[in-house]
Every structure is written in C-alpha cells, then in structure tokens.
C-alpha cells in the first residue's frame, strides 16, 4: 500500500507512543494497588478493553474509508494449503496450551514453577474470580485488536520493505509495547508476536493468529489464577 499521513501518524503511535503509555498505565495501576483500591485491576482491564476496541475500530474504519480491501488488513479468508497447515498448527498449539492449564491445576510443582515465573507480573494478573472474568474478556480483546493493529496494520505499513522486514519490525513494535512487563516479559511477547506474524504470513489472514493469541492470553490468566491462589493458600497454612 502507499502510506498516507494518517498511516505514518498511526504507525508512530504504535511504535513510539504506545510503549510509553503502557508503562504509564502500569505505574498508575501500581499506585492504585498501593493505595488499597481493591477494584484497581478490574478498572485497568476495562480501560484497556475499551482502548483496544477503539484502536481496532479506527484501523478498520480508516481502511474502509481509504478504499482498501479488508483482505489486505488480514481480515479475508484464503482457501489455500497454507491456510489449512496454519490452522492445524494453531489447533495443536492451542491444545498444548490447554494441556498446560490442566497440568498446572493438578501438579503442585508446576504451580510453583508458574508462580515463580509470574512473580514480576503479579500486580497485573487476576487474583479473584471477578478479576479472572474481566481478564478473559481482556485476553480475547487483545487477541483480536492487537492482531489488527500490530500484524494487520503494521505488516501492511512495512510491507514495502519486504515480508521479512515487515515481520521483524512489527514484532519489534509488539515487543516494545510490552516493556512495562520487564525485559523478560517484553522478550516473551516479542517471541509470541513472531509466531503469530509467521502464522499470518502462512495463512494470509489474521484469524489463526487471533485464535492463538487469545488462547495464549486466556490460558496464561488461568494458570496465573490457579498458581496465585495456591500460593496464597500455602502461605495461609504456614
């Protein structure tokens, strides 16, 4: 596509401004939790859900207004061998993620390992059933909206540089948007971004990427909730 001024501005927002805003929002959450605001996480989830849907709606609306086919944003369907291979890989990966949730629920050592890995992110993760429900909504939202923005839009924006460059640059931007999670968290997010970008390239659409992204986030929330609850129970007993 031939980028317009709006494309340049929105790309700058995703690459340069979004990481800073995410850090600021995370610090606001920490202050709210430190002040004892019990609904701080739920409000943060709701705020992020609203913002992400607004961003996705803007991208789709701008695409249509510019006369661009939605298929060039990854919202079409290609009946190709790559599509079926990508779908099979996605379903296998989703099955593996669900199996991890089952393992964590039934193996204390697995819960301890997850709890240790997620300690840095404890303020962000759901602690109660109510927070868990909103986190699931947030996970599905991120799976859809972040794919539209970071894979659909950014890979189209960087497409003139070649497929490899588009994948790498969109992945870098996605990782930077998660710097509030720390170096390890941003790196993991970047690796996830690389995988779903590869799926997009293989299938020619975002649907498989959305499914895998949402499933990864939902199962992460489930494992975190189980592990944190188990840790709290163990602390109470001791």
Q: What is the pLDDT of residues 198-224, one digit of tens each?
A: 999 999 999 999 999 999 999 999 988
pLDDT score of 160:
92
Domain total of the chain: 1
For the chain, give the mean pLDDT.
91
- Look at residue 44 and tell me whether its pLDDT is greater than 90: yes
* Domain limits for position 218: 5-237
Cα 119 from Cα 174, distance rounded (Å): 22
Angle at 74 between CA 69 and CA 76, to 5 degrees: 65
How distant is the alpha carbon of residue 32 from its chain centre?
Answer: 23
pLDDT in tens, 146-163: 999 999 999 999 999 999
CA distance 127 to 116: 15
pLDDT bracket for residue 237 (50, 70, 90): very low
- Which DSSP symbol is given to 36? T
Give the residue from 211, 208, 205 showing the smallest Cα distance to 75.
205
Name the pTM for this structure: 0.91
């Amino acid at each position: 596509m031939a980028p317009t001024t709006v494309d340049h501005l929105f790309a700058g927002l995703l690459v340069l401004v979004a990481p800073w805003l995410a850090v600021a929002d995370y610090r606001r959450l920490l202050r709210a939790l430190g002040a004892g605001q019990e609904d701080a996480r739920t409000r943060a989830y709701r705020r992020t859900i609203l913002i992400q849907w607004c961003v996705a709606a803007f991208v789709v609306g701008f695409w249509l207004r510019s006369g661009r086919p939605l298929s060039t944003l990854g919202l079409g369907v290609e009946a190709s061998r790559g599509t079926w291979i990508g779908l099979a890989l996605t379903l296998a990966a989703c099955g593996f993620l669900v199996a991890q949730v089952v393992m964590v629920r039934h193996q204390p050592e697995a819960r301890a390992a997850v709890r240790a890995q997620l300690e840095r992110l404890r303020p962000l993760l759901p602690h109660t059933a109510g927070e868990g429900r909103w986190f699931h909504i947030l996970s599905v939202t991120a799976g859809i909206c972040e794919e539209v923005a970071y894979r659909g839009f950014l890979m189209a924006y960087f497409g003139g540089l070649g497929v490899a460059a588009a994948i790498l640059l969109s992945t870098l931007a996605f990782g930077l948007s998660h710097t509030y999670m720390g170096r390890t968290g941003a790196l993991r997010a970047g690796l996830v971004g690389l995988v779903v970008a590869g799926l997009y390239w293989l299938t020619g659409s975002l649907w498989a990427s959305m499914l895998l992204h949402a499933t990864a986030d939902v199962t992460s929330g489930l494992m975190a909730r189980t592990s944190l609850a188990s840790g709290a129970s163990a602390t109470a007993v001791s």
